Structure 1
Amino acid sequence: MSTTFFNYFKYFCQASVCLAPTKEIVPLCTLVVNNFFDIILTMLLYV
């Protein structure tokens, strides 16, 4: 399931880059992808 979420984020980032090529969304997407598992673990802790 985590792979599906990762693919979703990757697709979302690619789409965001195409829709808003301001080069400001790229670092944000990179940050989210790099910290993806940390974010998921944090969410699970608060559930």
Structure 2
Amino acid sequence: MAEDDRAVAPASGSWALVALAWLAVGLPLLWGIWTTLQKAVVLFR
């Protein structure tokens, strides 16, 4: 294996950016799922 084939560790700040991106996508998604489930419960009563 050549020296150029070694993986380089990502910068420490990139982990925070990834976490922020997941929150930016995940929170609205969870809110939408929660709202849909609440409306479905009312619909099937």
For the aligned pair, the TM-score class normalised by the smaller chain equals 0.3 to 0.5
TM-score (norm 2): 0.42
Q: Comparing both chains, which one has the higher relative contact order based on Cα–Cα distances under 8 Å and sequence gaps of 6 or more?
A: 1
Larger radius of gyration: 2
